[in-house]
Amino acid sequence: MRRVIIIGGTGFLGYHSGLEFLSRGYDVGSLNLPGPGLDEWFPEKITMKTGNLFEMSHDELVAAMKGCHAMVYSVGPDDRSMPKTPSYKFFSEKLVDTSVRVFEAAREAGVKRAVLLNSYFAYFHRIKPKLKLDSRHNYIRARIEQAELVIGTGKEMMDVMVLELPYIFGTYPGELPIWKEIFLDRLLKFNPVFYPRGGTSMITVEHVAEAIAGAIEHGKHGKKYHIGDVNMSWHEMFAIMFKAASINRRVVRLPLWAAKIAGFIMQTNQRLHGREPGLHLGYIFQDIISHEFYLDPSQSVEELKYGRGGVVEAIEETARACYGRE
């Protein structure tokens, strides 16, 4: 039986990936921090190993992955993090250094196929170099460096694939969707809701899980796959969320100049508290949110053989789950 270990298997993406691998007949393991209540909802068929990834030694990591044919790396802070200044040090340590250590240990343990879950910001940095996303946003800079260095750990002994992920909708046991904190709670302080033009690619968590398994089974070493399904404006997305959660709000387009002023005020406030966001709030509207970060995923779909569809339903499910309205 094929054995795969998911680093961060109890997280949102790790959990759904585990279910997908089980459905394909894999022997699935998870390396994660210990947590209360996991026995109540985590699949019994997934072998759980606990440990603090950021503190484990090289030998401990090798031992945890010994006997596995494949590994999925689904760990690390995302762009919501507000670490102490300078934030690049934090993201470099947590995203770049740690992932390189784990992939090197995986190679030594005999793992032959490994997938890194990365961000679609790295893809847009490549195709929109004039935005200079790496120079103003430390999270994006770290993600770009992470992918390059992790691919290099293969050393012709282990195939390494990178998935560049967009906005993902879905739910999983015991947790409120991140959308409540990062979007809805903030936006709903105002009526009407003000937000700039722009939009993003998005996908359901189940199809991300299929893409992860597809990368293990079909991916090519060193390739970066941008993963997506539906392209949608922010205003369309919020309209679906508000309706599903029975929230009565009108969305009004915020001029970019006003959004930039608000962003710089937020950035200054964080700096006064000794914090520095991974995405510079003074430039986030100009560089990211006001753009249409849309993807054509057709090549990735063809190569990795993941499904499409169900995005609107997943947005609705996610919105209802934010307020316990399932």
Residue 325 confidence (pLDDT) above 70: no
Residue among 40, 58, 51 nearest 9 (CA): 51
Alpha carbons 188 and 184: distance in angstroms, whole number: 6
Q: What is the pLDDT of residue 137?
A: 96
Asked if 197 and 160 touch (Cβ cutoff 8 Å), the reply is no
How does pLDDT run across 253-304, given as a tens digit for each residue? 989 999 899 888 989 988 889 999 999 999 999 999 999 999 999 999 999 9
Q: What is the pLDDT of residue 188?
A: 83
The number of angstroms, rounded, from the C-alpha of 278 to the middle of its chain's C-alpha atoms is: 14
Q: What is the pLDDT of residue 190?
A: 82
Q: Which CATH number fits domain 3-168+202-228+296-308: 3.40.50.720, 3.40.190.290, 1.10.10.10, 3.20.20.30?
A: 3.40.50.720
Alpha carbons 242 and 248: distance in angstroms, whole number: 7
Residue 1 confidence (pLDDT) above 70: no
The residue whose two tokens read 């991916």 is 219
Domain residue limits, the chain: 3-168+202-228+296-308
**Across residues 88-114, what is the average pLDDT?**
97
**Across residues 211-237, what is the average pLDDT?**
97
Q: What is the pLDDT of residue 300?
A: 97
Alpha carbons 251 and 240: distance in angstroms, whole number: 11
**Burial of 272 (C-beta count, 10 Å sphere; 0-12/13-18/19+):** exposed
Q: What is the mean pLDDT of the chain?
A: 93
**Across residues 25-36, what is the average pLDDT?**
90
Alpha helices in 278-310 (DSSP H): 284, 298-304
**Across residues 77-105, what is the average pLDDT?**
93
Residue 308 confidence (pLDDT) above 90: yes
Residue 323 confidence (pLDDT) above 90: no
Contacts of 116 (CB under 8 A, 6+ apart): 73, 99, 103, 146, 147, 150, 160, 161, 162, 163
Q: What is the pLDDT of residue 81?
A: 84
What does pTM read for this prediction?
A: 0.95
Residue 326 confidence (pLDDT) above 60: no
Q: What is the pLDDT of residue 322?
A: 87
Alpha carbons 55 and 167: distance in angstroms, whole number: 30
Among 122-131, 160-169, 265-274, name the one with the lowest average pLDDT. 265-274
Q: Averaging pLDDT over each range in 33-37, 183-187, 236-240, which range is the top one?
A: 236-240
DSSP codes joined into one string, 15-26? HHHHHHHHHTT-
Q: What is the pLDDT of residue 79?
A: 86
Among 179-193, 223-237, 270-284, name the one with the lowest average pLDDT. 179-193
19-55 burial code (b ≥16 CB/10 A, e <16): bbbeeeebbbbbbbeeeeebeeebeeebebeebebee
